[in-house]
Amino acid sequence: MEKEYRNNDIIIYWYPQDCSHAGKCWQTLPSVFDMEKRPWVNISGSSPEVIIKTIDKCPSRALQYSLPQGSAVDPKLAQGPGAKDYKADLDKAGKIRVIRDGPLLVEVPVQIIDTDGAIVGEGDRFVLCRCGKTKNPPFCDGSHIPGK
């Protein structure tokens, strides 16, 4: 179920079923996104341009935006990954495969960065743990296999 918040310059869409609760929104812009308040989105809490930059950081696309007709916001600023009509270039996309009862197989050039910001892996093939049993996070070490 989509929720919509709007003013004359921006429309914010929230898809709660898609939210991973990573917190990028409320950590970056608490004047707009406050989970303790209802409604939790205060569209007047910052400029539309700052809201756009914040929504572009949403990892799940649970937050998106568009510009209503007559918006004073430069449309060029509203073309990032948070834009409602954003389309990724899938012709150049790699793949992440879900292995049944197993890990994620990454088949795309990536840098894997830990919580401290250190690069722990660079390349185009990785096997990432999904079960949380690995002793070498975030990489799979086969600990999900019974009897191992």
pLDDT in tens, 58-100: 999 999 999 999 999 999 999 999 999 999 888 878 899 999 9
* Residue range 124-147, pLDDT digits in tens: 999 999 999 999 999 999 999 887
CATH 3.30.365.10 fits 3-78, yes or no: no
pTM to 2 decimal places: 0.78
Instruction: Express the helix, strand and coil content of the chain in percent, nearest 5 each.
Output: 15, 25, 60
Mean pLDDT of the chain: 95
Domains of the chain, residue spans? 3-78, 88-148
In this structure, are residues 22 and 48 in contact, taking their beta carbons and an 8 Å threshold? no
